[in-house]
Structure 1
Amino acid sequence: MKQSIFIADDHPILIKGLNDLLIEKKMNVIGFASDGQSALNFIFKYKPDIAILDVEMPNLTGIEIAEECKKNNFCTKIILITLHKEIDLYLKAKKLNIYGYLLKEFALEEIETCINSVKNGIPYFSKNVKDYIGFTDENNSILKKLTLAEKRILKLISQHKTSKEIGHILFSSPRTIEKHRSKIITKLNLSQKSGSLYKWVQKNKHLFN
């Protein structure tokens, strides 16, 4: 039996585009909504296998709908589509066990691959999202190479502290902090160019919150 798919977005053109594409691919689209509350009501009533939700909708966001589904232990697998490229939104989606995450500009070209992955119980987080936000799942494992002192230094760099300020906080000389920074650059395999560590930290500061 084909899995049931529901689509919610406040842009009629995108709904039509997704629906036409999925129908062409012989998928089972059972309903639509153009606002978050209607989407949540539909999911509560019909419990579709997959719900494709826009993050930004009137009344309720896709994230808020996902929170409600998780709270009520619904089995509906949620795919979020969004214009936003912020790391915080991406990480929140992962914490909610979202099954798919796509940027709107790539939604039509990626949705079939995403749905097929989700059907098999495999989450699909678009590489395009990771490229835009500069995040890779490998970064968490990279940090395991660092000492506690080196991680503290990275956290302080993420707070825009200079080597002198970091030294004062950690009771070390600026020269010692510079040595630590050099070791961190080597461990992270970064360029020796000035500013490369700072740029890396700003891209990945979610790791130090």
Structure 2
Amino acid sequence: MEIAVINYKGGNVQSVLFALERLGVRATLTADHELIRSADKILFPGEGEAASAMRELRAQGLHELLPTLTQPFLGICLGMQLLGRHSEEGGGTQMLGILPFDVVRFSAAAEYKVPHMGWNTLQELRSPLFEGLREEDYVYFVHSYYAPVGEYTIAQATYPAPFSAAVQHRNFAAVQFHTEKSGPVGTRILENFLKL
């Protein structure tokens, strides 16, 4: 099985590669269009800021390639947000437009600091990606921006209101949390993705 991990200079790529190695899977970190097109599965991880990520995706022509892919695709953290239409981050950034959501910033509240950082539970699980998991399983989040809940939502979390913890449209699935930092729950999600 050929796994392509999209290389757009986003952070956190090495920990995703290590997580795959622990599962006995060797992945290729690449921005090569032909390698990406021919891969069996695509991982799109990332940490960082939306505007600079989109600049890099455009510079490599990936903003045109990624929406055309038809194989199973999993975005992680920033890799989820980039699938939306627009983000408030960076003064407003046009995204890939693969999923019909706009990314907005959390509003700070007395007991809810921004960024949302740490362990939180999943609810409303609606995908084979979560096979074997339970409502209230914990995963690890680090983010200041989020996708609202919509028809594309396949899992929710709450901080303080519900937001999309995972989304899906056609072959494109993505999670806001870090699978590679979420212990056995994150490992199970990666295993489920590899079985799709």
* TM-score, normalised by the number of residues in structure 2: 0.42
* TM-score, normalised by the number of residues in structure 1: 0.39
Q: In proportion to residue count, which structure has more strand?
A: 2
Q: In proportion to residue count, which structure has more helix?
A: 1
Q: Which has the larger radius of gyration?
A: 1
By relative contact order (CA 8 Å, sep 6+), the higher-ranking structure is 2
